DNA sequence: ACAATGGTCC
DNA sequence: ACTCGGACCATTGTA
């Protein structure tokens, strides 16, 4: 306990006097209550969407079979691979191989988009069948008499992050053509509203704080767009001249840092040459020397102690860090870097949940969901504005990092509306 | 029942 | 040869 406070103080943080085990103990009842409350699904809208996608998906399937010139099981990667690369003879040179032959993963198929019109149809079909089989078909069967879905929260034993299963409500689509359509069907009870509160860049803020990297600390204190700032650094270009594409690359680099970046991994994610990815990383670490030092420190610590730990003292053991197999050792190195960041982010969220749960007990409002850096509360319309203010206040101040913690709040009749009404400022 | 493949989220 | 962190879940195909 003393060690934890000392460490926090050294980093310029103000934190509750708790260790991770205290947090988890207090969180238990909060999670059980959330499971019990559940979230309401607009089953009628869900079924409507289901029918729409089913029709669309059958049409696509027919077109694909016609183009393939042979009936086959589209859901079977081996069969699809056979069709694409044997029957249609698409070039497989740049495509990853797997146990069964040539990969048909989306990232690989993307490379073939301009070789044959069947590719786009397959990608679209995959998207629809994913939505149907994972969300649209199963979820309506799981609602209770009040049309509410009850997930089961658990905890990842390695990082302490919260998990959701049966059903998993932490991977409900948000991107893609139908993501927002699906989220629109997660609604508030009549007379209520949903309030969504999102931490803004919480993991990067934690990296900045744990590493004390002066450049990144300044960026967050100045309140600048962090990805544009990184782009400006990597591409040696003024922020105002940064293109959307450059910003996108920089965003991936920033995420890469959190994950324990490697040139190969970055090149795969961005679909670029490994040498170019290496160049980005080199430039990044040259400017963010504090982050570079932090990463090295974590790896050294893991080698010396056999574990790394979060701000609140949660430990992850990493014996593989001394493995003679390089891929294994490197994997452990990435975990040494990532786990304190991801774990600390989880702890910040959990502490906010505990505080919020207590404050809401006097109100009608109820916590109903958490998705890693987001909290959702359902509240009577009359209370919504006040509850929103309360959530923001608690989430931004329960744990004080050495830089501001920022939370975006949105209110709406459904999950989509709540997220989109967040005022960007 | 289980591995492999693929895909959704943060 | 090299898989950027962490989950959960669906389907196929083999055992």
- pLDDT per position as a tens digit, A152-197: 999 998 899 999 999 999 999 998 889 999 999 999 999 999 999 9
Closest nucleotide to A255, Cα to C1': C4
Whole-number average pLDDT of chain A: 92
* Distance of A171 CA from C7 C1′ (whole Å): 9
Residue A319 CA, distance from chain mean position: 27
For residue A182, which nucleotide's C1' is closest to its Cα?
Answer: B8
Copy the structure tokens of residue A357: 């749960």
Q: Return the structure tokens found at A270.
A: 């961005």
- Report the alpha-carbon distance of residue A210 to residue A288 in Å, rounded: 13
Polymer length in residues for chain A: 425
Mean pLDDT, residues A241-262 taken together: 89
CB-count burial class (<10 Å; 0-12, 13-18, 19+) for A61: middle
Task: Report the protein residue whose CA lies nearest the C1' of nucleotide C12.
Answer: A76
Q: Which nucleotide is nearest to A130 (CA to C1')?
A: B7
Structure tokens at A380: 């009577």
Q: How far apart are CA A1 and CA A7, in angstroms?
A: 10
Helices A263-270 and A274-287, packing angle to 10 deg: 120
Residues with CB under 7 A from strand C: A 73, 75-76, 78-79, 133-134, 138, 154, 156-159, 161, 163-168, 170-171, 252, 255-256, 259-262, 264-266, 268-270, 274, 327, 330-331, 334-335, 338-339, 342, 372
Measuring CA to CA, which residue among A246, A196, A256 is closest to residue A225? A246
Q: Return the DSSP state at A309.
A: E
For A36-64, the pLDDT digits (tens) are 999 999 999 999 999 999 999 999 999 99
Q: How many angstroms separate the CA of A166 from the C1' of C15? A: 27
Q: Could you tell me which of A342, A239, A334, A219 has the C-alpha nearest to residue A288?
A: A219
Pair of tokens at residue A374:
């987001």
Query: What does the pLDDT read at residue A328?
Result: 86
Measured CA to CA in angstroms, residue A257 lies from A11, A280, A282 at distances of: 20, 11, 12
Token pair for residue A419?
């997220």
Cα-Cα-Cα-Cα dihedral of A265, A266, A269, A275, to 10°? -100
DSSP-derived 3-state class of residue A167: coil
How many angstroms separate the first and last alpha carbons of chain A?
37
Residue with CA nearest to C13's C1' atom: A76
Number of C-alpha atoms within 13 angstroms, CB side, residue A120? Answer: 5
Which CA distances in Å does A242 have to A2, A17, A164, A282? 45, 43, 38, 19
Beta bridge partners of A367: A377
Q: Which nucleotide is nearest to A79 (CA to C1')?
A: C12
Distance separating alpha carbons of residues A383 and A151, to the nearest angstrom: 25
> Span A347-376, mean pLDDT?
96
Q: How far is the CA of A104 from the C1' of B2 (A)?
A: 22
pLDDT-based confidence at residue A28 (cuts at 50, 70, 90):
very high
How many Å from the CA of A411 to C1' of B3? 44
Question: What's the pLDDT score for residue A425?
Answer: 45
Among A231, A229, A267, which Cα is nearest to A248's?
A: A231
CB-based contact A214:A268 (threshold 8 Å): no
State residue A173's pLDDT score.
92
Residue nearest to nucleotide C3 (CA to C1'): A265
Looking at residue A306, the DSSP 8-state letter turns out to be S
Portion of chain A with pLDDT greater than 70, in percent: 99
Distance CA A236, CA A46 (A): 48
Please check whether residue A348 is in contact with residue A399, taking contact to mean a CB–CB distance below 8 angstroms.
yes
Give chain C positions with protein CB within 7 A: 2-13
Distance A76 CA to B5 C1' (A): 9
**Residue A332 to residues A207, A210, A272, A309, A320, Cα–Cα distance (Å):** 18, 19, 25, 14, 6
The yes-or-no verdict on residue A228 having pLDDT over 90 is yes
Distance, CA of A208 to CA of A106 (rounded, Å): 34
Which nucleotide is closest to A270, CA to C1'?
C4
How far is it, in rounded angstroms, from Cα A27 to Cα A346?
12
Instruction: Protein contacts on strand B: list nucleotides below 7 Å from a Cβ.
Output: 4-10
Q: DSSP assignment, residue A184? A: T
- Which residue, among A41, A27, A29, has the nearest Cα to A162 in the 3D structure? A27
Q: What is the distance in angstroms measured between the alpha-carbon CA of A154 and the sugar C1' of C8?
A: 11
Place of tokens 């190969």: A264
Q: What is the pLDDT of residue A274?
A: 85
Determine the distance between A165 (CA) and B3 (C1') in angstroms: 21
Confidence of residue A423 (pLDDT cuts 50, 70, 90): low
Footprint of strand B on the protein (CB under 7 A): A 77, 81, 98-100, 103-107, 109, 123, 126-127, 130-131, 134, 170-176, 179, 371-374
Give distance CA A125 / C1' B8 (Å).
Answer: 15
Which amino acid residue lies closest to nucleotide B3, measuring CA to C1'? A99
Closest CA to A334 of A163, A154, A98, A159: A159
Looking at residue A135, what DSSP letter applies? I
- A289: how many CB neighbours lie within 10 A of its CB? 13
Structure confidence at residue A420 as a pLDDT band (50, 70, 90): confident
Distance A126 CA to B7 C1' (A): 9
Nucleotide nearest to A163 (CA to C1'): C7
Rounded CA–C1' distance between A383 and B5, in angstroms = 47
Nucleotide nearest to A105 (CA to C1'): B6
């Amino acid at each position: 306990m003393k060690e934890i406070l000392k460490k926090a103080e050294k980093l310029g943080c103000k934190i509750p006097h708790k260790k991770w085990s205290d947090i988890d103990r207090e969180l238990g009842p909060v999670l059980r209550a959330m499971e019990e409350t559940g979230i309401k699904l607009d089953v009628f809208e869900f079924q409507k969407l289901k029918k729409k996608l089913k029709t669309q998906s059958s049409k696509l399937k027919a077109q694909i079979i016609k183009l393939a010139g042979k009936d086959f099981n589209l859901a079977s990667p081996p069969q699809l691979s056979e069709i694409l690369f044997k029957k249609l003879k698409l070039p497989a040179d740049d495509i990853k191989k797997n146990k069964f032959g040539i990969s048909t993963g989306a990232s690989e198929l993307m490379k073939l988009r301009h070789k044959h019109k069947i590719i786009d149809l397959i990608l679209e079909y995959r998207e629809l069948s994913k939505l149907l089989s994972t969300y649209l078909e199963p979820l309506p069967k799981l609602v209770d008499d009040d049309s509410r879905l009850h997930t089961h929260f658990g905890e990842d034993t390695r990082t302490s992050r919260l998990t959701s299963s049966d059903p998993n409500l932490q991977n409900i689509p948000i991107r893609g053509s139908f993501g927002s359509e699906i989220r629109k069907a997660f609604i508030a009870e009549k007379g209520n509203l949903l309030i969504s509160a999102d931490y803004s860049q919480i993991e990067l803020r934690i990296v900045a704080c744990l590493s004390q990297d002066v450049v990144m600390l300044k960026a967050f204190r100045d309140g600048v767009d962090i990805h544009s700032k990184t782009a400006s650094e990597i591409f040696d270009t003024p922020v105002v001249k940064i293109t959307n594409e450059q910003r996108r690359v920089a965003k991936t680099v920033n995420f890469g840092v959190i994950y324990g970046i490697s040139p190969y991994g970055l090149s795969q994610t961005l679909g670029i040459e490994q040498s170019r990815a290496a160049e980005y990383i080199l430039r990044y670490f040259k400017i963010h020397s504090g982050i570079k030092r932090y990463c090295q420190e974590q790896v050294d610590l893991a080698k010396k102690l056999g574990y790394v730990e979060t701000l609140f003292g949660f430990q992850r053991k990493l014996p593989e860090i001394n493995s003679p197999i390089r891929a294994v050792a490197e994997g452990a190195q990435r975990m040494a870097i990532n786990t304190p960041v991801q774990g600390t982010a989880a702890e910040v969220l959990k502490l906010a949940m505990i505080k919020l749960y207590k404050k809401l007990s006097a109100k009608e409002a109820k916590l109903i969901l958490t998705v890693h850096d987001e909290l959702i509360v359902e509240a009577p319309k009359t209370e919504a504005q006040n509850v929103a203010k309360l959530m923001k206040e608690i989430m931004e101040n329960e744990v004080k990092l050495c830089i501001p913690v920022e939370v975006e709040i949105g209110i709406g009749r459904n999950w989509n509306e709540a997220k989109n009404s967040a005022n960007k400022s």
